[in-house]
Structures are given as C-alpha cells and as structure tokens.
Amino acid sequence: MPSGLTILDVRDCLAQARSVTVLTGAGISADSGVPTFRGPEGLWKNYRPEELASPEAFARDPKLVWEWYNWRRELVATKQPNAAHKTLVALERRIEHFWLITQNVDGLHALAGSQRLSEIHGNIWKVRCTQCNRVSPNRDLPLVYPPICTDCSGLLRPHIVWFGESLDQDDMTRSYQAVRTCDILLIIGTSGVVYPAASFAPIAKDGGALVVELNLDPTPNSSIVDVAFQGRAKDLVPLLGDAT
Ligand code: OAD
C-alpha cells in the first residue's frame, strides 16, 4: 500500500481519479465557527445527548429539545461555508463519479453548492411530522413552539437522526455503494467513532481505494487509512483542489 504520500501526491492522485467519495464530519464546519461534538470545546462536553438528541428526550420534553435545536439553528444561520466546503464543490464539478457523504446537519455543504450529497444524519433546516412523517424545509428563526404540520396538525420534530434511530435506507445504500466503488475516499474532520460512517475506511480499503484522512487530531481511522494528514480542514482541503 502507498505510504509516505504527501498532500501534493494525493492531489495528483485526485487528478487521475474517476471515482471519488468524501466523508465529512463536524471538523470541516469547525472552520466556519460551528461547534464540534467531541473534544474540549465540543457540544457533548456541556450537553447530554440522551437529554437532547434522542426520541425518548423528545417524547419527554419536546419544548426543551426544540429550544436546543432553535439555539443551534440561530448559531448556524450566522455561519458561512469555508474554503474546504468550496474545494469539495470544485472537485464534484470535475470528477465524473463523485459522492459526498456528510454527517453534518448544518446544511453548509449544500449552501456552498454541493449537489451530489447525502446528509446521512439529516438537516437542521428540515422538519418532520411526528404523525404523518412528511419532511419539509423550515428556516423559521426563531422557530415558534409548538411547530405544527400544515397537513395533519401533528407536532413537528427536527429532521435529524437521533441516538438509537435508523439512518435512511436509500441514503445508506447509495453511500455504501459510493464507498465500496471509489478510487479514492477522503475522510475529513470526523472523530470516526459514530457508526455507520466509522466503518467506511475499512470498506473502501477492501474495495481497493486509496483512503486519505484529513483531520486536526489522530483518530481511530488514522491507523487504517493509507495516509493521514493532521491540520485544519480549511488549510488542508484547498491543497487538493488545484489539480485539473
Ligand atoms: P466529532 O465532534 O466527534 O469530531 C470532530 C473531529 O473533527 C475531531 O476528530 C476533531 O479533531 C476534528 N476537527 C476539529 N476541528 C477541525 C478542523 N478545523 N479541521 C479538521 N478537523 C477538525 O464530530 P463527528 O465525527 O462529525 O450526530 O461526529 C459524528 C456524529 O456524532 C455527529 O454527526 C453527531 C454526533 O453525535 C448527530 O448529530 C446525529
């Protein structure tokens, strides 16, 4: 397996690649000012996921859960995509088979212009009816409680995959396919501890892909991938974007 690759070598590999899949996590949006989940400054340092991001929490206290999501929506609304998000848009435009899988719910990839995109953990700007399951966009700021479905008057919830919930089956089929069949998998800004995304590196390697990690800190993926670069996404990812 290739080792000792520099980031410019990876850029050259990307120039030859026909099929590229990218997995992103909170680290890519950290450079836009969106908090990550783990680590000293992470959201899960001050908030308990089981009290705010689980179906049980919503059943117990929907107002509290909505207050937390409303706070996050207000925060994300002030943020813009950074150079890393934009570089991925440029890669998508010139690579024949490109798929971006994000665990982020902030919508910044779509705002940057990414189109071949699976938001596998949902999107903070979408709501879903707890009665009829209809998903709809919602950018209300603040979101007035209780938000009600215009179709059936059911209570709306954030369209987010919470702890203990299943991911969308179509999204996952497409994502696994993209991971299994790519020439290169880029893993950017994720701690690599949440499944199923945590399984993507070994799956891509089994499929013969070059697997590259770009992250501020070492992660469990670092020992699996072909090469791991440590640094900020906004500094590292643009170095991959000049190849044409
Ligand atoms: P984490 O907070 O677990 O990990 C973020 C990773 O990004 C860490 O490894 C950091 O070292 C790295 N990082 C921080 N700043 C960075 C920067 N500027 N450039 C590059 N890397 C940086 O976030 P995720 O891995 O995305 O689930 O977490 C996965 C899921 O766990 C999230 O989608 C969320 C959470 O519970 C849901 O919301 C459903």
pLDDT digits (tens, 9 = 90+) for 154-197: 999 999 999 999 999 999 999 999 999 999 999 999 999 999 99
**What letter does residue 19 receive in the DSSP assignment?**
E
Rounded to an integer, the average pLDDT of 83-105 is 97
Dist. CA 55–CA 72, nearest whole Å: 18
pLDDT at residue 3, as a whole number: 66
pLDDT higher than threshold 60 for residue 1: no
Is the previous residue joined to 146 through a cis bond, with omega within 30 degrees of 0? Answer: yes
- Positions marked active-site: 121
Those residues whose C-beta lies under 8 Å from the C-beta of residue 226, and which sit 6 or more positions away, are 1, 2, 3, 5, 205, 210, 211, 212
Q: From 28, 38, 104, give the residue whose CB has the most ligand 1 atoms within 8 Å, as the site to mutate.
A: 38
Q: Report how far ligand 1's centroid is from the alpha carbon of 26 (Å).
A: 4
pLDDT higher than threshold 80 for residue 199: yes
The minimum-distance atom of ligand 1 relative to the CA of 233 is 19
Q: Report how far ligand 1's centroid is from the alpha carbon of 62 (Å).
A: 25
**C-alpha to C-alpha distances, 89 to 2, 162, 238, nearest whole angstrom:** 27, 28, 11
Those residues whose C-beta lies under 8 Å from the C-beta of residue 167, and which sit 6 or more positions away, are 120, 121, 161, 196
Q: Number of structural domains, the chain?
A: 2
Same-domain check for residues 106 and 211: yes
**Whole-number mean pLDDT of the chain?**
95
Same-domain check for residues 137 and 206: no
Q: Report how far ligand 1's centroid is from the alpha carbon of 15 (Å).
A: 27
Same-domain check for residues 178 and 74: no
Range of the domain at 155: 40-78+129-160
Q: From 124, 194, 221, 229, give the residue whose CB has the most ligand 1 atoms within 8 Å, as the site to mutate.
A: 194
Q: Is 58 helix (H, G, I), strand (E, B) or coil?
A: helix
Q: Has residue 1 been placed in a domain?
A: no
Same-domain check for residues 182 and 223: yes
